[in-house]
Amino acid sequence: MGTDSVKLFDKALADRMLAEGRDPLVALGDEEIYLDYWGCYAEVFDGHPEGSISSLDYLPDEEEETFLLLRPDHVDRMVRSLNEHRDDLNIMDKEQLEKLERWRDFCAANPSQMVAYIFDF
């Protein structure tokens, strides 16, 4: 079984790349945070949260959903769930949780930035 993860995603840059016909978005950043169960999609969300963007909508030629772009309020829900279960975390440590909080805050201050939730099937 794989572990879902998150990465920062510069949507404005990606939009420009797609408009110019460049190969899309293999990795807009090397940093990746592997998520504990308490921060994963199935635990935190009941379906796609309002305002999120599916890879199927963003890249309509794709056959399978591989990521979901999240806003800061979505990431905040993940952070709250992870903090509520801090003693039960097996994958994430304090530094990774703090990095996710920084990403949330960075995206809140920079509207072109989102967090890409990467599904690992």
| Res. 13 pLDDT band, cuts 50 70 90 | confident
Element (H, E) at 16: helix 11-19
Packing angle, helices 72-84 and 94-109, rounded to 10 = 160
53 pLDDT band, cuts 50/70/90, is very high
**Residue corresponding to tokens 């016909």:** 21
Three-state DSSP state, 120 = coil
Quote the domain boundaries for residue 92: 5-20+27-118
pLDDT at 4 over 90: no
Q: How confident is the model at residue 51 (pLDDT cuts 50, 70, 90)?
A: very high
**What pTM does this model have?**
0.85
Q: Please determine, for residue 24, whether its predicted confidence score (pLDDT) is greater than 60.
A: no
| Burial of 14 (C-beta count, 10 Å sphere; 0-12/13-18/19+) | buried
pLDDT at residue 90 greater than cutoff 90: yes
The count of domains in the chain is: 1
Maximum CA pair distance of the chain? Answer: 47
